[in-house]
A and B are shown apart, each in its own frame.
Chain A
Amino acid sequence: GQQVMQIPQYQHVQEGEDFTTYCNSSTTLSNIQWYKQRPGGHPVFLIQLVKSGEVKKQKRLTFQFGEAKKNSSLHITATQTTDVGTYFCAGHGTNAGKSTFGDGTTLTVKP
């Protein structure tokens, strides 16, 4: 079945440093979504990528979808303490309805 791998599992950065998390799927995806979960909270939608090679930006966050639609990345420039949390990617393949999440990358930011 479809598998989505996400690395790294944990990332500790100093405030102001950059951060990147990577997502790789075993199969071609129809789209990929990114979510953020604050400690003790629930996942909250950040963005959706649909097109091959798509790049989207939200302030300090940059999201990319690979040309083959099998990988994606989230890059945060100049991290802030408000960026702490776990970032998940979620892929949708050809099996309508099935949603496969990566294991998440937990980001901690030291002030």
Chain B
Amino acid sequence: EAQVTQNPRYLITVTGKKLTVTCSQNMNHEYMSWYRQDPGLGLRQIYYSMNVEVTDKGDVPEGYKVSRKEKRNFPLILESPSPNQTSLYFCASAIEYRNTQYFGPGTRLTVL
């Protein structure tokens, strides 16, 4: 089944404790992206990747890192999480950047 998977789905952590949210797609898509969703603010793009080893900042990259060492995986790294990073995170992929984006199920992160 073609899909985008994210792990974990839910995470409660404390300020400053490094964490990684994984994202994987099995559709051989070139483009992958991370978004955060906060009430009333829609989906805001954090980072995106046009292809392997190519990543770029979205609108809200501060406090986040990403890597794209393989086509299928695009992990989101929070080196030192803070409470303002409490949010619902979505990973998405597309054949190429202007095509249909397929979203993962989301990761709800709470930083205490």
Contacts and interface: CB of A to CB of B under 8 A. Distances in A.
A95 B105 CA distance: 27
Given A88-B43, A90-B101, A101-B43, 6 more contacts: A6-B42, A44-B103, A96-B50, A101-B35, A103-B40, A103-B41
Interface in A78-107: 88, 90, 92, 96-104
Question: What band does the interface of chain B fall in when counting residues whose beta carbon is under 8 Å from A?
Answer: 20 to 34
Given A6-B42, A9-B40, A42-B90, A99 B50 contact: no
Interface of B: 31, 33, 35, 40-45, 48, 50, 56, 58-59, 90, 92, 97-106
B100 A45 contact: yes
B101 A98 contact: no
Question: What band does the interface of chain A fall in when counting residues whose beta carbon is under 8 Å from B?
Answer: 20 to 34
Q: Which 4 A-B pairs have the closest CB atoms?
A: A103-B42, A101-B43, A42-B103, A45-B100
Interface of A: 1, 6, 9, 30-31, 33, 35, 42-45, 48, 88, 90, 92, 96-104
Contacts of A90: 43, 101
